[in-house]
Structure 1
Amino acid sequence: MTDNFDLDQFLHPAHAFSHPSEVVDDPDLTLNEKRAILASWASDACAVEAAPDLRLGPRSPVRFDAIMDALRQLDHQARRSQQNYRRLVRKKRLGGLLRSGGNDQGQPLQ
């Protein structure tokens, strides 16, 4: 078995993707990893005109607007995930209250 480990992709993960939407859709990356890749891409897109090597990766240049759209999409996903988590916590709390008789007083002391 041979490992196809690409050191460049490890050191520069934005080079492994051709468009910011691919980063957003990657199921193997955490939210923070996705943000880091997109932030790196945004930094490259905003690099000074006098140093085009800083702006262009091995693939075609990515529009700054596409990067910002991807970051907004990540923000939306994070908010939705946080809302779902809060709903789940409320549902569990409510379920516990209903099972215990609806009051949060506990059992009387004997």
Structure 2
Amino acid sequence: METVETKPGTNPAPISQVKSPDASERSFAEALIDPVKIFASPHEVVDHPWFSDEEKRTILLSWARDELVIEQVAGRVMPELQVKSRIDAVIEALSLFDPPAAGEYLSAVQAIRGNRKRARRALQH
């Protein structure tokens, strides 16, 4: 039987008894870092069976921040492009767990989109 190295003077634990990180914890960390990699849509976060409401809220806040950056950068760099963002779906899902934060993101998105429309009109004239 294989054992895990430990400090001298202690009893080594068999590998079968060494606990690996819980799959749900690992998934939460991965989802927090890159939600798009883990979930096909924000509604999958809402329906996730293992995450608490607070964990879902945190993942959706992270996702909203990422999508907001995408909208903002694309609007500045290439205002003529129609960016495919999931921010609307993320905000909708986030509103189930944190309506005030969802409202703030919605306001920010509307401002970004308004600026992008103005930039496009300026390019056309």
Shorter-chain TM-score bucket reads 0.3 to 0.5
TM-score (norm 1): 0.45
Task: Normalising by structure 2, report the TM-score.
Answer: 0.41
